[in-house]
Amino acid sequence: MTIKNALIIGASSAIAQAVARRLASRGTALVLWSRSAARLEIIAADLRVKYDAKVFVEAFDLNDASLHQAALDRALAAQGPIDLALICHGNLPDQSACEKDFAIVEQAFRINCLGPLSLLTVLGNYFESQGRGCLAAISSVAGDRGRQSNYVYGTTKAALSTFLAGLRNRLYPKGVRVLTIKPGFVDTPMTAHLKKSPLFAAPNKVALDIIRAVETGACVLYTPWFWHWIMLIIRLIPEKIFRKLKM
């Protein structure tokens, strides 16, 4: 599919910015949403200056479900029909803090899960009525199995992945593609506090993979590719053994 007009939600994320630059460089018009107007202005300026891109930005609370439909209507009015919607925002809560304070768990669910589920609902209906397009969201390999080091984050992403799978199933006959994106470690501000290893990928590499997956109509993208095999093995370990592992 060709992407003429894309909506990127959580546009200030490092991965989102890499996707936006790549799309803009190929002439895609963009609608960018994030919670910060100042950041959107900087991102949009860069895309306009470098690629002469057509960019429409709007800042609002992404996780306030009551705002989603109206924001979509404004975007459509400004920029026309959308071919791709990509949900990028997310939050990596500190696991040990989550164990002591449930409020942090709830917050992570609002950002990684509830907000995106509302967006997917609104956008799913839009794409369904349009009868074409691609709806994509960044989940994570962390959602493939609960591990002691980050199971709160993992659970939010698991819920997101499951929702996406159901939506994909529902919208397939309507000609709409739903893409679940599962990055491994990506070198972005979210992981700035982690020690870097060769497993870390650059946001640009992940962005390339995402765009290719959208174009080919893929269902689930592991990026970089080797995470597909790593997670396959991790999923196959019996729980009886897995519970003893330090992961």
Partner 1 sequence: MRCRSWGRYPKTTETLKSLRWSTDPLPANDGLKVLPHGLGRSYGDVCLNQSGTLLVTAALDHLLAFDEQNGLLRCESGVSLDEVLRFLVPRGWFLPTTPGTKFVTIGGAIANDVHGKNHHRAGTFGCHVTQFELLRSNGERLLCSRDKNADWFAATIGGLGLTGLITWAEFKVRRMTNAWIEMESIKLDDLGDFFAITRESDHDYEYTVSWLDCMAKGKSLGLGIFMRGNHAKAGVGDLAPHGEPRLSIPLDFPSFALNGLSIRAFNTLYYARLRQRVTKAVVHYNPFFYPLDSINAWNRIYGSRGFFQYQFVVPFSVDDGAIREILKEIGDSGQGSFLAVLKTFGDIPSPGLLSFPRPGVTLALDFPNRGAETFRLFERLDQIVLQAGGRIYPAKDARMSAATFQASYPLWRKFTSYIDPAFSSSFWRRVTS
Ligand X SMILES: NC(=O)c1ccc[n+]([C@@H]2O[C@H](COP(=O)([O-])OP(=O)(O)OC[C@H]3O[C@@H](n4cnc5c(N)ncnc54)[C@H](OP(=O)(O)O)[C@@H]3O)[C@@H](O)[C@H]2O)c1
- Per CB under 6 A, residues contacting ligand X are 10, 12-15, 34-36, 39, 62-63, 88-91, 111, 138, 140, 183, 185-186, 188-191
CA angle 22, 28, 30 (to 5 degrees): 95
Q: Which does 15 bind (CB under 5 to 8 A by kind): partner 1, ligand X, none?
A: ligand X
Tell me which stretch binds partner 1 (CB under 8 A): 45-53, 57-65, 77-85, 131-139. 45-53
State how far the Cα of 91 lies from the Cα of 168, in Å rounded to an integer.
24
State how far the Cα of 190 lies from the Cα of 185, in Å rounded to an integer.
10
Q: Which residues pair with 5 in a beta bridge?
A: 29
H-helix segments, 131-216: 151-171, 203-216
Cβ closest to partner 1, residue 49 vs residue 233: 49
Q: How far is the CB of 186 from ligand X (least distance, A)?
A: 4
Q: Which does 35 bind (CB under 5 to 8 A by kind): partner 1, ligand X, none?
A: ligand X
Which DSSP symbol is given to 98? H
Using CB under 8 A as the binding rule, the residues of this chain from 48 to 67 that contact partner 1 are 49-50
Percentages helix, strand, coil for the chain, rounded to the nearest 5? 55, 15, 30
H-helix segments, the chain: 14-25, 37-51, 68-79, 95-100, 102-109, 115-130, 151-171, 203-216, 226-236, 239-242
Q: Which does 190 bind (CB under 5 to 8 A by kind): partner 1, ligand X, none?
A: ligand X
Taking CB under 8 A as the rule, does residue 14 contact partner 1?
A: yes
Cβ closest to ligand X, residue 18 vs residue 53: 18
Asked whether the beta carbons of 50 and 17 are under 8 A apart, the reply is no
Of the candidate residues 4, 22, 35, 46, the single one contacting partner 1 (CB under 8 A): 46
Taking CB under 8 A as the rule, does residue 45 contact partner 1?
A: yes
State how far the Cα of 81 lies from the Cα of 117, in Å rounded to an integer.
21
Q: How far is the CB of 38 from ligand X (least distance, A)?
A: 10
Cβ closest to partner 1, residue 39 vs residue 174: 39
Of the candidate residues 26, 27, 38, 148, the single one contacting partner 1 (CB under 8 A): 38
Name the 3-class secondary structure at 10.
coil
- 219 residue type, one letter: C
Q: Which does 163 bind (CB under 5 to 8 A by kind): ligand X, partner 1, none?
A: none
Q: How far is the CB of 189 from partner 1 (least distance, A)?
A: 6
State how far the Cα of 168 lies from the Cα of 188, in Å rounded to an integer.
28
Q: How far is the CB of 185 from partner 1 (least distance, A)?
A: 16
Which residues contribute to the site for partner 1 (CB under 8 A)? 12, 14, 38-39, 42-43, 45-46, 49-50, 189, 192
